Amino acid sequence: MLFYYAVLFLIALAITGCSSGDKEVSKEDTSVVGSEVDEASSDKDQGDKEDKDKEQLESDEPNDSDQDEVRDHTSSSSKDDQLDDEVSQDDGVDLSAYSSEEIEYARVWQQLGPNQEIDSLYVAKISAGTSINPNHEDASAKYPEDVIMLQGTRVVDGAVTYSGNGDGTINVYKVPARWDDKLGAKVDKVEIKESTEMIAKDTKKVSIKPFSNDEIVELIKKIKLNE
């Protein structure tokens, strides 16, 4: 009988031990699974963070359109600075009160006028078809286009006869300030015709340069139009 109870006791102990072992294994398995889940979650979070950091870096990098915009802005600023430099070269004298024609007359004389110390600057507008030598209209060649003649008060001041091209250049005609006719001599109409035809054809293209505005203003004040 005692042997019977002893066997039962041993069996009970064995059953209890197995149950406890299963629980420990189950608990250990659960712990391992939890650890693996945490690791996977951590890896996923790390990956998401890296992706976000990469996207942030890409968004911070300037794209082609941004670089073009920067270049355009730089180019525009450079052009504005260049324009400011050009304006500053005009020595601060305002020419807006004068017409473009007045400024042109003064600049042409400033560059080509034989004498700058003049009392007045006379301006004559001559239409195309007018005789180049007004003293001998019957023999003289005609102006092929409208021209401007600038003269000083005296013959020694000289003259400049030209036509404008509208692009900062002019065509200069070699017309004398005064036509000399020999007194009592026979007029050589052939010579007059040939010489004036040469004047009409042999023009010189000249680029007019801007000069100091204060000097231009002084010449403008001396302009007198020949009606």
User: Which secondary structure element, helix H or strand E, spans residue 12, and what is its range?
Assistant: helix 2-60
3-class SS of residue 21: helix
- Whose CA is closest to 90, among 219, 206, 177, 211? 211
Q: Is the pLDDT of residue 32 over 90?
A: no
**Predicted TM-score of the model (pTM):** 0.59
Structural contact between residues 164 and 104, judged by C-beta atoms closer than 8 angstroms: yes
Neighbours of 132 (CB within 10 A): 24
52-56, 88-92, 178-182: which has the highest mean pLDDT?
178-182
pLDDT of residue 45: 52
pLDDT of residue 180: 81
| Segment 153-173, tens digit of pLDDT | 999 999 999 999 999 999 999
Give the chain's radius of gyration (CA, Å).
Answer: 51
| Segment 97-156, tens digit of pLDDT | 999 999 999 999 999 999 999 999 999 999 999 999 999 999 999 999 999 999 999 999
Cα four-point dihedral sign 41, 42, 43, 47: positive
More confident residue, 10 or 123: 123
pLDDT of residue 63: 53
| Segment 60-96, tens digit of pLDDT | 555 555 555 544 444 444 434 433 333 334 557 789 9
Looking at every residue in the chain, the average pLDDT score rounds to 75
pLDDT of residue 120: 97
Q: What is the DSSP letter of 149?
A: E
